[in-house]
Amino acid sequence: MNWIALIIAGIFEIGWPLGLKLSQQPENSKWNWIIFSILCMTVSGGFLWYAQKSIPIGTAYAVWTGIGAVGTLVVGILFFQDSASILRLLSALLIVVGIVGLKLF
């Protein structure tokens, strides 16, 4: 159950940079997206707190930030025309391999 909580925390970790990015778009309501970001931070932190009850802090933090980093990279590529160069994608793959390694070992 704690690993599921950690994955949920990582998914919400994607939400706050997304909300900050959307708050900068002229057609969007700035404050609604800033509030969305704060809510995502809060939910993410709460699930991380819960997950650390049985997952070592270093592992939990690395997995949490890894999911957030790779997830945000994917969102940027898919929705904000961020670069999808082979080196960026390979770097993201290395993060995923590290996350899997932390879970397995």
Euclidean distance between CA atoms 59 and 55, whole angstroms: 7
Helix/strand/coil percentages in the chain, nearest 5? 80, 0, 20
d(CA 11, CA 26) in angstroms, rounded, equals 26
C-beta separation of 51 from 2 below 8 A: yes
Give yes or no for residue 39 having a pLDDT over 90: yes
H-helix segments, 1-105: 2-23, 30-51, 57-79, 86-104
| Across 38-46, average pLDDT | 98
pLDDT confidence of residue 104 = 87
The pLDDT score that the predictor gives to residue 69 is 97
**Mean pLDDT along residues 25-53:** 95
pTM over 0.85: yes
> Which residues form the domain of 37?
2-104
The number of folded domains in the chain is: 1
Q: How confident is the model at residue 102 (pLDDT cuts 50, 70, 90)?
A: confident
